[in-house]
Structure 1
Amino acid sequence: MKKIIVGGILLFSGVILYLGVFIPAARLASTLGGWTTPPGRLGTALNETGGSTAYHSSIVMIICGILLLLWGCFGEEVTGLIVRVRKIKNENEHEPTINQDEPLN
């Protein structure tokens, strides 16, 4: 349950930070007179406003929040599935193999 709460908070905070950086940069990008091609118009606006670090941090927060939410919601099911797959794999490794060269009686 804690993973779900922390994941939700990270996701929400990341989205708020993303919007808080993106909206002013987009407003500035619409009024830019010139920009360089590699970062583009929005990248240049992000660099001018000093928001590129916050922009990348918000994306990392969103990804971590989604991963924590998924881990909190489906962690037990995935762990159970892995245990069952390992059990089946171990059972198949211990079965005797049939030699193809020997004739069947």
Structure 2
Amino acid sequence: MNKSIKLFGYVLFVSGIILFGIMHLAIASYIPDLTGWSNPPGKLATVLDDIVGWVPYLLSIALFVVGALIMIYDLWQTKQKEHT
């Protein structure tokens, strides 16, 4: 696999994890300010609605999933080259 694509996968994976951690830090810092939440969506959905954090939260998950898929594909391709 091209080294730049491999590096891109690592960068996506790490940036997704960092963004995920920052979002959880923002969620944790906002929870003491909650006045209440309804039972069906729960605390996480209520906080994400209040801080308008759905886009970065889902983006972080998408980033590290795509990065992980690129890394897994690279490992699979490397194993295929070893067997031939």
Same fold (TM over 0.5): yes
Q: Using the TM superposition, give the Cα deviation of residue 44 of structure 1 relative to its aligned residue in structure 2, in angstroms.
A: 0.7
Q: 1:77 aligns to what?
A: 79
Q: AA paired with 2:74?
A: G
Residue correspondences, number: 82
Q: After TM superposition, what 4+ stretches of structure 1 lie above 3 angstroms from structure 2?
A: 78-81
Matching residue within 6, 9, 12 for 2:11: 9
Q: Which has the higher contact order (CA 8 A, sep 6+)?
A: 2
Q: Which runs of 5+ in 1 are unaligned?
A: 85-105
Contact 1:14 1:59 in 2 (8 A): yes
Distance apart, 1:23 and its partner CA: 0.7
Identity %: 27
Cα displacement (A) at 1:17: 1.1
Q: Specify the SS of the correspondent of 2:36.
A: coil
Which structure carries more helix by proportion?
Answer: 2
- Pairing partner for 2:30 from 28, 40, 62: 28
Q: Which amino acid aligns with 2:27?
A: A
2:59 is equivalent to residue 57 of structure 1: yes
CA RMSD of aligned residues (A): 2.1
Q: Which TM-score applies when normalising by structure 2? A: 0.81
Structure 2 spans left out of the alignment, 5+ residues? none
- Select the structure of larger CA radius of gyration: 1
